[in-house]
A = this chain, B = another copy of it.
Amino acid sequence: MPKITIYDLAKLTGASASTVSACLNGTWRGRRIKEDTAREIQRIADQNGYRTNLQARGLRRSRSGLAGLILPIYNDRFFSSLAQSFDDEARARGLCPITVSTNRDPAEEQQTVETLISYAVDSVFTAGASDPDAISRMCDRAGLANINIDLPGSVASSVISDNRGGASALAEAMFDAHDGPDAALAGRIYLVGGEPGDFATRERITGFEDVVRRRTGSCDAAQIRATGYDPVKSAHEAEILFADTGRAPRALLVNSTLAFEGVLGVLAELPAAQMQSLVVGCYDYDPLTRYLKVPIISVRQDVNGLIREAFRLLDTPPSEPAIVRVPPTLLASGNGAADTNETRP
């Protein structure tokens, strides 16, 4: 069953291939083709199950209709939501989404971008690359639109979550949730988890520190424990913190749901009394946190907003690389509807 082409249709309809092409791709009015002819050809085309060969079109037009998204991993609430939202939005625009994960590996990132360029992808969104600017430069050289998501670059425009603001809001909420004077949290409110080399983490740390300083007068370096996203490492870090009875946390901001998984194991072991008075916050949202033994205050990033703004930047490229901030949402434990599918409108 050899696939049917415009040449086959040309024979079938008695028209020329170029006429068939025009009738099927919508440019027939501009080519002054009779409406009757157009309709007839379209009818015969789908009667015969014609499908445009997009590789041929792409070759000719030197663009493919593909939209690329680069992620570190899928298997994470934040990134999978991002992928979902991207997918929906791209399809709504008649683009074919093509999402690739690179495992935060610079070599894989480079290679992925090369591949995307080779397929003449129309645009690339980069979410959480290790070197976004390198990617932007590659895209530039290939004449490819590129937008950074979640991690700003200096070469291309970026859409980022307001991490600093989100962390501040979260810290404030934690102070408010704590019963007792703010002073009781002096030196006893900690941030755990996240990669300190990571832009988002640095911003969150800053937001956290701001609030802690303002409400307790100071924020010691020891209160910041960004030792990576690995649950095991974060668990270990939490263990150390709680072991030091004199300075054990009374409030704990956990950076990322991944780190949270680890920390949670430690929390589960705490004496009930200590648990009672502990305030826990988590940057990033997981629906299951609502049902944990511990009440959790979370920050949920506006994934749809990030994607929407990214596409907006694509549509109307600013003259200079811009940075658009999208505010996240604060969620008290028990808040929020049961909406895992948060990325569906």
A1 and B26 alpha carbons, distance in the complex (Å): 30
Binary contact readout A245-288 vs B (1 if CB under 8 angstroms, 0 otherwise):
00000000000001001101101100000000000000000111
User: Which A74-127 residues sit within 8 Å CB-CB of chain B?
Assistant: 74-77, 80-81, 83-84, 87-88, 91, 96-101, 103, 108, 114-115, 117-120
Residues A80 and B74 in contact, CB atoms below 8 Å apart: yes
A91 and B116 alpha carbons, distance in the complex (Å): 13
Q: Which residue on B lies nearest to A266, using beta carbons?
A: B291
Residues A338 and B51 in contact, CB atoms below 8 Å apart: no
A340 and B230 alpha carbons, distance in the complex (Å): 9
Cβ 8 A contact of A80, one of B75, B267, B338: B75
Chain B residues positioned under 8 Å from A108 (CB to CB): 91
Question: What is the number of residues of chain A that contact chain B, defined by CB distance less than 8 Å?
Answer: 67
Cβ 8 A contact of A289, one of B114, B141, B288: B288
Residues B53 and A74 in contact, CB atoms below 8 Å apart: no
Residues A261 and B288 in contact, CB atoms below 8 Å apart: yes
Q: What is the CB-to-nearest-CB distance from A318 to chain B, in angstroms, rounded to a whole number?
A: 22
Q: What is the CB-to-nearest-CB distance from A307 to chain B, in angstroms, rounded to a whole number?
A: 13
Cβ 8 A contact of A291, one of B3, B96, B264, B290: B264
A340 and B234 alpha carbons, distance in the complex (Å): 14
A169 and B293 alpha carbons, distance in the complex (Å): 28
A54, CB-defined interface residue at 8 Å: yes
**Residues A338 and B261 in contact in the complex (CB < 8 Å), given A143-B1, A292-B291:** yes
